[in-house]
Structure 1
């Protein structure tokens, strides 16, 4: 169970930490110092490098989480574990939507130099990453709170 837990937590750190960095550090600076064409190209490039790591993290989080759930007895596991599972799957669905819809639009807009469409796509990505970051922090709180109250 220790290797699964390590991979699980490492994947969460990569994903949630990456969202925190992008949302709280990179976004405000990029908005302050870059014009729209450069800012949109930057974000398309950043997401192009970050999203493969997120896909790997999502796969590992799901696989290791299900492995640990089965090791803990499946349906007999603590309620907070099921809350974590539901929130995690919701985050994964939001990420998949970001990847297949607004990120695809952002890449196309940068390629075509359609800065208005790119700005709209980036705004949608920003909102969804903000939601996912919030859900990630809530999930972490649920886990630690659940563990503290479970014993």
Structure 2
């Protein structure tokens, strides 16, 4: 059962981190030709869909991660350093996402819906900052998860 749970854990992390990579390094640099109102409307639609997947990923990651800790390792005492690092970086990522979703995303969403581009742009900067912090955290977390079992070799 643990391998199946870890597969879901890995897929959830790929969805979240891959989505941030796409948004920051692929979609954002492709946006300048669009007029600001269209760009903001596109971001709103992209984020609406992506954040639903991130919420799903967060639930899957927390349930599967702690499920493996308690049912695969029988608690925290047997955890390797790599799992402790993943826990800290993962919880930091979740905290940043929840903060971003609760404040700048809600501001951005309302501003775009009301046609207030200045407020939307200001909120977008804060969203981008969280993504710019969470992306390297996610990449580090994934690398630690993939290699951590080999740290003792």
Normalization by structure 1: what TM-score? Answer: 0.95
Displacement, 1:73? 3.0
Q: Which residue of 2 aligns with 1:111?
A: 113
Partners of 1:115 and 1:102 lie apart in 2 by 14
Contact 2:73 2:79 in 1 (8 A): yes
- Which aligned runs of 4 or more in structure 1 are off by greater than 6 angstroms? none
Contact 2:104 2:124 in 1 (8 A): yes
CA distance in 2, matches of 1:25, 1:33: 14
Post-superposition shift, 1:35? Answer: 1.6
**Mapped pair 1:89 → 2:91:** yes
| 1:46 aligned onto 2:42 | no
Match of 1:148 among 133, 147, 150: 150
**Contact 2:13/2:142 (8 A) holds in 1:** no
Query: Which residues of structure 2 form unaligned runs of 5+?
Result: none
2:152 & 2:135 partners in 1: Cα distance? 25
C-alpha separation in 2, matches of 1:145 and 1:4: 18
Deviation at 1:95, TM superposition (A): 0.6
- Contact 2:17–2:138 (Cα < 8 Å) also in 1: yes
CA distance in 2, matches of 1:16, 1:53: 11
Q: Distance in 1 between matches of 2:152 and 2:145?
A: 10
What are the equivalent positions in structure 2 for 1:1-150 lying under 5 Å apart?
1-30=2-31, 32-70=32-70, 71-74=72-75, 75-150=77-152
Structure 1 residue 150, shift from structure 2 partner: 2.9
What is the CA–CA distance in structure 1 between the aligned matches of 2:35 and 2:108, rounded to whole Å? 16
CA RMSD of aligned residues (A): 1.1
TM-score by length of 2: 0.94
Which one is further off, 16-25 or 133-142? 133-142
- 2 CA distance for matches of 1:108 and 1:78? 44
